[in-house]
Amino acid sequence: MAKVLIIADIKQGVLKGSTAELLSKAKAIGAETAVVAVGSNIESLTPDLANAGSDTQYIADDPSLELFSAGPYASCVVDAAKQFGTNMIWFGFSESGKAVAPRVAAQLDAACATEITDVELSGDQIEVIRPAITNKVMQRVKINTDKLVAVVRAGAFEATEGITGTENVVKLSIPAADLKAVIKEIVSDASGEIDLADADVVISVGRGVKDQAGVDLVKELANDLKAGFGSSRAMVDGGFMAHNKQVGQTGKIVAPSLYMAIGISGAIQHLAGMTGSKVILAVNKNTEAPIFNVADYGIVGDLFEVVPILREEIKKMKMLRVIMQHN
Amino acid sequence: MKILTTVKKVVDVELTMHVEDGAILEDGLQYVINAWDENAVETSVQLKENNGAETTLVSIGGGDNTDMIRKCYAMGIENGIHIDDPALAKADPSVFAKVLQKVFEAGNYDLVITGKQAQDTDSGQTGIILAEYLGLPCVSNVIAIEVVDDQHIKVSRSGDAGTEIVELELPAVVTVDVSINEPRLPQMRGIMMAKKKAIDVMDLAALGTSPNEVGGAAPKSEIAEFMKSESRKGGQKFEGDAAEITAQVVDLLANEAKVL
């Protein structure tokens, strides 16, 4: 029986949805499942980890693990992998996952595949599907070792309803800090904001919003909808949006229920980060903008005119819905 | 400081890819320097200019890489190594990392700078695995770099919770993001000088290793086939009176797509 170890995605003390998605997929291919959780003050998450579908929880909980540092995190994952005797180790899509997965693979002499969208198991043979060349093609990759470390692309797997697990905690020993790569501080530019990675609605701004006033205008719409607020590369390079708000090939890959591209023309590098979204709305004044080739709904118009109307119409629709429910 | 920069020749991603029988059709494809590696080259050259460094690039595979390496020379890189060997045809990231390990050990470098991923595979593994093989500290997805002293650099990494500031002891490996800098355009004088510079081309034997040692004969993973990407189709596009079409789209988002 295959054994899949999944890295718990914990942000600000909360277990994120991707963990249940990965565990659901592991159960669907008939694997025995475990999670490894690394951080500080996370032991109280044990019931959540079990309820997400894991049968064993490897936990490394220590104040020294509060700030992300790839070396010690990798040591914890390797320790758990050896104890569990795992065939596969799956990370959800995150910057920390992308940094840690290759280290774990090297230490376990395993194959590594990033951005996978599917995994197939026939007997002992593992194969994965993943996009390449900025999403222009897909690859089927044959794994020639008995161990695979993978980073799963955002939105690739779905959580199944009614999945269950059991509490069985194994405490990991706490690794030494990496003295050769000392994390000095984390300059948070997203505190208190909705995390792009798991927002149900993501609204991104592009060159079309022009300046800070344009950014602020769209931000109000994002606030109304409690949406993640993202950006194309142009607005990050222009200094209007923080680097970790960039959606695209070199930034965040998102797959929300609704993605709104406001004033974004749709370079392939941006498309590679958001075409996994369920529904895409684009607002752009150029009717030929490539973003319309991937948008389910496109509004050709001046965003400075359209966005305030969009806010009003959504408010109206939501109020109407409340009234209907009360009747 | 001795800096080793990796550069890979990759397919131009702006072109249309045609897939047939599990392979990408070569016809009409063009090859360019990997975008992230161009930022790695620029990072090396800036460190050379600002802090003093000896800069060497290494490229693996890709056949004739002369034009790409000359371009890097014209940007300011001083030495170029090209490792080409038929045994590397199916190289995966760990094979590339093993070859780079050999190059590193032969050159006594203080810092390795790679692009954070190559745009042909989008894997983002090689630099990180190299650091593991060498037992060196590593930070990936770097967006700023500064020299602290002879033994230390300080880097900013774009991470999940914000920008992580990390101090690294040299020797070290960093992988850089495109936002770290704007690669310069080579100037005429640099282009002319680059033409006269030699490129050190070697196979695995000349590097002092073998296909077996680097795992070229039996990579841990291999591409079984390429497939067409499921491309998304454009849906309904609305033009006309802003108030009218916006109201219409909100209705569709709420009642047809059911996402509001």
Instruction: State the DSSP string of A162-192.
Output: T------EEEPPPPPP-TTEEEEEEE-S-TT
Answer yes or no: do A179 and B169 touch at CB < 8 A: yes
Q: pLDDT averaged over chain B?
A: 96
With a cut of 80, say whether residue A216 has pLDDT above it: yes
CB pairs under 8 A between A and B: 275
CATH of domain A196-326: 3.40.50.1220
Give mean pLDDT, residues B60-82. Answer: 96
Instruction: Please write the tens of the pLDDT for every residue from B161-190.
Output: 889 999 999 999 999 999 899 999 999 999
Mutate to test the interface with A, among B29, B120, B126, B164 (most CBs of A within 10 A): B164
Cβ atoms B120, B156 nearer than 8 A: no
Q: Which of B162, B166, B178 sits opposite A190 (nearest CB)?
A: B162
Would you say the C-alpha torsion A289, A294, A300, A303 has a positive or negative sign?
negative
Give bridge partners of residue A170 from the DSSP assignment: A58
The C-alpha atoms of residue B33 and residue B12 are separated, in whole angstroms, by 8
Cβ atoms B131, B139 nearer than 8 A: no
The C-alpha atoms of residue B109 and residue B58 are separated, in whole angstroms, by 12
Give mean pLDDT, residues A298-309. Answer: 97
Q: Burial level of B241, CB count in 10 A (0-12/13-18/19+)?
A: exposed
The C-alpha atoms of residue A4 and residue A212 are separated, in whole angstroms, by 46
Q: How far is CA B89 from CA B188, B214, B223, B244, in A?
A: 35, 12, 11, 58
The C-alpha atoms of residue B209 and residue B101 are separated, in whole angstroms, by 11
With a cut of 90, say whether residue A196 has pLDDT above it: no
Instruction: Please write the tens of the pLDDT for every residue from B35-54.
Output: 999 999 999 999 999 999 99
| pLDDT category of residue A189 using cuts at 50, 70 and 90 | low
| Domain A3-171 identical in fold to domain A196-326 | yes
With a cut of 80, say whether residue A277 has pLDDT above it: yes
Give mean pLDDT, residues A59-67. Answer: 96
| pLDDT category of residue A244 using cuts at 50, 70 and 90 | confident
Degrees (nearest 5) of the Cα angle A184, A185, A191?
170
Tell me, yes or no, if B161 comes closer than 8 A to chain A by beta carbon.
Answer: yes
Tokens 């400075």 sit on residue: A304
Give bridge partners of residue B227 from the DSSP assignment: A138
Q: How far is CA A93 from CA A6, A99, A197, A304, in A?
A: 12, 11, 8, 34
SS3 content of chain B, % helix, strand, coil (to 5): 30, 30, 40
Cβ atoms B82, B65 nearer than 8 A: yes
For B2-214, the fitting CATH number among 3.40.50.620, 1.10.4080.10, 2.60.40.420, 1.20.1270.360 is 3.40.50.620
Looking at residue A31, its pLDDT comes to 94
Fold of A3-171: Rossmann fold (3.40.50)
Answer yes or no: do A300 and B237 touch at CB < 8 A: yes
With a cut of 80, say whether residue A162 has pLDDT above it: yes
Looking at residue A124, its pLDDT comes to 87
Instruction: Find, in chain A, the residue whose alpha carbon is nearest to that of B35.
Output: A250
Looking at residue A301, its pLDDT comes to 97
Determine which helix (DSSP H) or strand (DSSP E) holds B66, and give its type and residue range: helix B66-75
Answer yes or no: do B166 and A182 touch at CB < 8 A: yes
Looking at residue A190, its pLDDT comes to 54
Answer yes or no: do B247 and A299 touch at CB < 8 A: no
Helices (H), chain A: 17-28, 46-51, 70-84, 95-108, 212-224, 233-237, 268-271, 303-326
| pLDDT category of residue B226 using cuts at 50, 70 and 90 | very high
Tokens 């992308």 sit on residue: A98
Per this entry, what is the length of chain A? 327
Strand, helix or coil for residue A158: coil
| pLDDT category of residue B252 using cuts at 50, 70 and 90 | very high
Instruction: Please write the tens of the pLDDT for every residue from A79-130.
Output: 999 999 999 999 999 999 999 999 999 999 999 999 999 999 988 899 999 9
With a cut of 70, say whether residue A22 has pLDDT above it: yes
Pairing mode of beta strands A32-39, A3-7: parallel
Cβ atoms B106, B225 nearer than 8 A: no
Looking at residue A12, its pLDDT comes to 83
Looking at residue B232, its pLDDT comes to 87
How many angstroms separate the CA of residue B123 from the nearest CA in chain A? Answer: 6
Tokens 């369920």 sit on residue: A278
With a cut of 70, say whether residue A191 has pLDDT above it: no
The DSSP string of A220-285 is HHHHHTT-EEEE-HHHHHTTSS-GGGBBSTTSB----SEEEEES----HHHHTTTTTSSEEEEEES
Pairing mode of beta strands A32-39, A14-15: unpaired
How many angstroms separate the CA of residue B126 from the nearest CA in chain A? Answer: 8
Cβ atoms B234, A125 nearer than 8 A: no
What amino acid occupies position A130? R
Give mean pLDDT, residues B129-158. Answer: 97
Give mean pLDDT, residues A165-182. Answer: 96
Cβ atoms B156, B181 nearer than 8 A: no
> Which residues numbered 213-232 in B keep a CB inside 8 Å of some CB on A?
218-230, 232
Q: pLDDT averaged over chain A?
A: 94
Give mean pLDDT, residues A258-263. Answer: 98
| pLDDT category of residue A192 using cuts at 50, 70 and 90 | low
Q: Which of B93, B132, B137 sits opposite A178 (nearest CB)?
A: B137
Cβ atoms B59, B80 nearer than 8 A: yes
Please state the domain extents for chain A. Answer: 3-171, 196-326
Rounded to the nearest 10 degrees, the angle between the axes of helix A95-108 and helix B93-107 is: 80
Answer yes or no: do B158 and A243 touch at CB < 8 A: yes
The C-alpha atoms of residue B92 and residue B218 are separated, in whole angstroms, by 10
Please state the domain extents for chain B. Answer: 2-214
Cβ atoms A246, A256 nearer than 8 A: no
Mutate to test the interface with A, among B14, B21, B249 (most CBs of A within 10 A): B249
Per cent of chain A over pLDDT 90 is 87
Looking at residue A63, its pLDDT comes to 96
Provide the strand spans (E) within A1-69.
3-7, 10-11, 14-15, 32-39, 56-61
**Higher-pLDDT residue of A325, B213:** B213
With a cut of 90, say whether residue A268 has pLDDT above it: yes
Answer yes or no: do B119 and A237 touch at CB < 8 A: no
Determine which helix (DSSP H) or strand (DSSP E) holds A116, and give its type and residue range: strand A111-116
Among the ranges given (A234-238, B219-223, B227-231), the one the predictor scored with the smallest mean pLDDT: B227-231
Which residues 6+ apart lie within 8 Å of A256 measured at CB?
A: A199, A200, A201, A202, A228, A277, A278
| pLDDT category of residue B13 using cuts at 50, 70 and 90 | very high
Cβ atoms B197, B69 nearer than 8 A: no
Cβ atoms B183, B42 nearer than 8 A: yes
